[in-house]
Amino acid sequence: MNLYKDVKHTVSIVLPSYNRAYIINRAIQSVLKQTFTDWELIIIDDGSTDKTYDLCKNYTLKFSNIKYFKQSNKGLPLSLNKGISTASGKYITFLGSDDEYLPEHLKLRIDFLKQHPEIELLHGGVKIIGNKYVKDKNDFSKKIHLNDCVIGGTFFGGKEVFQKLNGFRNIDYSEDSDFYNRAMLAGIKIEKVNFKTYIYYRNTADSICNSI
């Protein structure tokens, strides 16, 4: 049963989380500070055993456009897909539970797509905090710079793009680059933006990039 009213918003933000009660507040607060205000925030709790529910409940009671769903632990890709299936927005984007947006993040992307209606999917625009290197998905013994990677939290596109590609594949690592490659093969028109309004924290010990 859907506990939320069927109110459509311009942007749906999918925020997956697992045992991040200690830090998720930063991400949520960054959404509340957005200068573009026609958004919904969809928090997908992937089976947390900490106080994530209590923290998120306080937000959902106060803000009708913040929604919380809890599921058994299924992993990041399926959590993202749950958010996509729940989204009401014309556009869908993402936010890591240990990351944050700068206040102009949504507005700059909405404005860009209005000015370039031929573009279907945006990515990029990242400020990296911490280690700028991650393991190469093709060879874990090697590391590559994040400037050479696709960062899924920065994906911003029409809901139909994510529906067309059936969301993210359920793989252990680099589901974002896999999605990007499939989007290219499908002929999706993609653009990388340079306004660095997505703050990507690489100093969270339990992040997938650090623990894989």
| pLDDT tens for each residue of 87-127 | 999 999 999 999 999 999 999 999 999 999 999 999 999 99
Q: How many domains does the chain have?
A: 1
In a domain, 44, yes or no: yes
| Domain span at 106 | 11-204
In a domain, 212, yes or no: no
pTM for the full model?
0.90
42 strand-pairing partners: 14, 67
Taking the C-alpha atoms of residue 65 and residue 171, their distance in angstroms, rounded to an integer, is: 30
Number of continuous H segments (helices) and E segments (strands) in the chain: 7, 10
> ∠ CA(110), CA(111), CA(112), 5° rounding?
90
In a domain, 4, yes or no: no
Taking the C-alpha atoms of residue 156 and residue 178, their distance in angstroms, rounded to an integer, is: 16
In a domain, 2, yes or no: no
Tell me, what's the pLDDT at 12?
98
In a domain, 211, yes or no: no
In a domain, 6, yes or no: no
CATH assignment of the domain containing 29: 3.90.550.10
